[in-house]
Amino acid sequence: MTLLSEVFRRPLDPGYHEAARRKAAHPDAPVGRTRTVGVLVLTVLLGLVVTAATLALRQPSPSAVEARALLLGQIKDETARADEAQRSISATSAQLTALQEQVLAGEDPKLLARLQQDAGASGVVAVTGPGLRVELSDAPAADGQDEPDLDHRVQDVDLQVVVNGLWAAGAEAVAINGTRLTTTTAIRSAGSAVLVDLVAMSSPYDVDAIGDSATLQTQLALGSAGQHLATLRDTYDIGVAVSARTDLRLPGTGQVTLRYASTPAPTSSATPSPSADGGVAGSSSTQEGRTP
């Protein structure tokens, strides 16, 4: 009963009574204005401090900026040297081809014609003609990411499938981003980069093939390469564009030097140890990723 009597006598909390008393004593005084202004000022100050700290953390140190500039300069210099060396190699190769044709033109015209035909097929000389272009590009990056993940980027295996499909469709010559493919060309990956004949490339990738464009496009679509391209486009959102071209120019690789290895005669003191598959034991590297 005492509790019920107290509830009926003082139904409100004492704090409410005190607030009502202050409001009745000072009806014109602003309620909570000072506190509101203080909270607002504190919030602004905290926001400024957090922004300044974020900018300070994102800004690289002067030593890192200097090292980056140095590396970029070295890359540009070495790239320029490599391009100059490649131009010199191409010019020397053209001179050798001209001298070879000059010598054989009078002595053995049939051999000269055979060499010219084989040079085009082997990728030594540049070729022109109609054909097909298959352009592959990485999928757009997801929100909050600078670049797409591995499965949504064009990989070396994708280029291998497309190139093999074009050869099977009847292509006479193939190049990727201006790099001519020959029997000794490898398409591999190094980290996130794709290497074509040891040349680092990035998206987009233009795979050019010389031949009858209608036949190439039809046979490519009917084969396993066409199914692989459809999977890249529909499942991984990778850009795939196939277009016929009337005039493609594929560069040549120049004179190719074939290298081979030979084993010395076995001795009683040392004998090579074969691996389980019958070859010489060695090391290999693989990279996890999408498989066709």
The pLDDT value recorded for residue 274 is: 47
Please check the confidence at residue 118 and state whether its pLDDT lies above 50.
Answer: yes
The pLDDT value recorded for residue 184 is: 86
Q: Please tell me the distance from the alpha carbon of residue 185 to that of residue 188, in angstroms, as a whole number.
A: 10
Which residues, 6+ apart, have CB-to-CB distance to 134 below 8 Å?
A: 162, 166, 206, 207, 209, 220, 229, 240, 241, 242
Please check the confidence at residue 53 and state whether its pLDDT lies above 90.
Answer: no
User: Cis before residue 14, ω within 30 degrees of 0?
Assistant: no
**Antiparallel, parallel or unpaired: β 127-137 and 205-210:** antiparallel
Most confident of 8-12, 14-18, 82-86, 118-122: 82-86
Which residue is listed with tokens 């006479």? 172
Percent of the chain whose pLDDT exceeds 70:
78
Identify which has the larger pLDDT, 272 or 206. Answer: 206
Identify which has the larger pLDDT, 90 or 291. Answer: 90
The pLDDT value recorded for residue 3 is: 61
The pLDDT value recorded for residue 286 is: 42
Residue 163 carries which side chain, given as an amino acid letter? Answer: V
Please provide the average confidence, as pLDDT, over all residues in the chain. 80
Most confident of 39-48, 56-65, 143-152, 207-216: 207-216
For the chain, the structural domain boundaries read 2-58, 66-125, 129-252
Section 196-206 average pLDDT: 91
3-class DSSP state of 7 = helix
| Topology (CATH) of 129-252 | Alpha-Beta Plaits (3.30.70)
> Among the residues of the chain, which ranges form H helices?
2-9, 14-25, 33-58, 62-107, 109-122, 156-169, 213-222, 224-235
The pLDDT value recorded for residue 250 is: 92
The pLDDT value recorded for residue 269 is: 55
The pLDDT value recorded for residue 106 is: 74
Identify which has the larger pLDDT, 58 or 289. Answer: 58
The region that residue 164 occupies, defined by phi over 0 for left and psi between -120 and 50 for alpha, beta otherwise, is: alpha
The pLDDT value recorded for residue 33 is: 59
**Antiparallel, parallel or unpaired: β 187-190 and 193-196:** antiparallel
The pLDDT value recorded for residue 4 is: 62
HSE (CB half, 13 Å, CA atoms) of 231? Answer: 13
Predicted structure pTM score: 0.60
